[in-house]
Amino acid sequence: MTRMLELAGREMTTGLQFPEGPVAMPDGSVIVVEIARRTLTRVLPDGRQAVIADLGGGPNGAAIGLDGKCYVCNNGGFEFGHEPDGLFRPIRRADDYSGGRIERVDLGSGKVEVLYTECEGISLKGPNDIVFDDRGGFWFTDLGKIYDRKMDRGAVYYARADGSFIREAVHPIITPNGIGLSPDGRTLYVAETETSRLWSFEITGEGELAKLPFPSPHGGRLVAGLPGYQRFDSLKVEAGGNICVATLMRGGISVISPDGEWLEFHAAPEVYCTNLAFGGPDLRKVYVTLSGFGTLLEVDWPRAGLKLPGQVLPNR
């Protein structure tokens, strides 16, 4: 039976412009993207905010590479709208959409480099989330874009951090969003937004995945698909292997075991609970973006998160 819990914690800051992609840093600060503000922003432990870089487009997901630089999935830009209660949400592709891309940011200088805009002649449409492996390369999702009556079919890519290699690993897939690796690095997890389905793929080489035959729509194994109207966003993996998926509309974090059991749901105070990141000296703090009202929460978590490649933990 699923345990129903409350996502209660300390509000680190508010007033962010649709924050996502939190990255917990060893000094206690948290780096986020602000999709609507189009920036990479640092939130200090006391709640102050400092812009690291103006990226333009729609910075969407972020991760620290083995070189200590921040790698950003930029979706090219959204148009946003307000609900009557003040909730801020993305609606469609921006009128000034600038194209999908992967960017690298020097956290000291704020210098921005564009690493990838396409793969084998196919333009990136809406890069969304990113995770590094022990090789120093990274997997990322491309959710695609909505254009009036049309919607892209998404993809999953693998790329090297030096800009020398990119490979399409999964296509087509419906609105792929969150992405993560199992503790042994042999399994790739991908969450689909619109279907609220979590898929897994066996990694067989650099950017290579084993594929299941039909009726799998893309070669993945279905781990879980939750009932009712909810949508999956970003994900992170616990040290013990459970997958924690930020869940929209229902609003919270769904904890799913590798064999597909829905273990817990941690209810958030708003429907746009979009991203999470493990931090703290023992990785038992979770930093959660509540994007619709621009809030970053710090929450005590019942179990330790998985240490990411390149992640430096703070001293106790």
Query: What is the per-residue pLDDT for 316?
Result: 73
* CATH number of the domain where residue 118 is located: 2.120.10.30
Q: Which domain holds residue 130?
A: 13-228
Question: Does residue 190 lie in a domain region?
Answer: yes
Span 136-162, pLDDT tens digits = 999 999 999 998 899 999 999 999 999
Count the domains in the chain: 1
Question: Does residue 182 lie in a domain region?
Answer: yes
Of 14-18, 106-110, 178-182, 310-314, the poorest mean pLDDT is in: 310-314
Span 84-127, pLDDT tens digits = 999 999 999 999 999 999 999 999 999 999 999 999 999 999 99
Amino acid letter, residue 76 = G
Question: Does residue 301 lie in a domain region?
Answer: no
3-state secondary structure of 291: helix
Provide the pairing of β-strand 262-267 with 3-6: parallel
* Alpha helix positions (H), 130-209: none
Span 205-233, pLDDT tens digits = 999 999 999 999 999 999 999 999 999 99
Banded pLDDT at 315 (limits 50, 70, 90):
confident
Question: Does residue 289 lie in a domain region?
Answer: no
pTM score? 0.98
Question: Does residue 281 lie in a domain region?
Answer: no
Question: Does residue 180 lie in a domain region?
Answer: yes
Q: What is the largest CA-CA distance in the chain?
A: 52
Question: Does residue 160 lie in a domain region?
Answer: yes
Question: Does residue 224 lie in a domain region?
Answer: yes
Contacts of 49 (CB under 8 A, 6+ apart): 13, 15, 16, 41, 42, 43
Amino acid letter, residue 215 = P
pLDDT exceeds 90 at position 272: yes
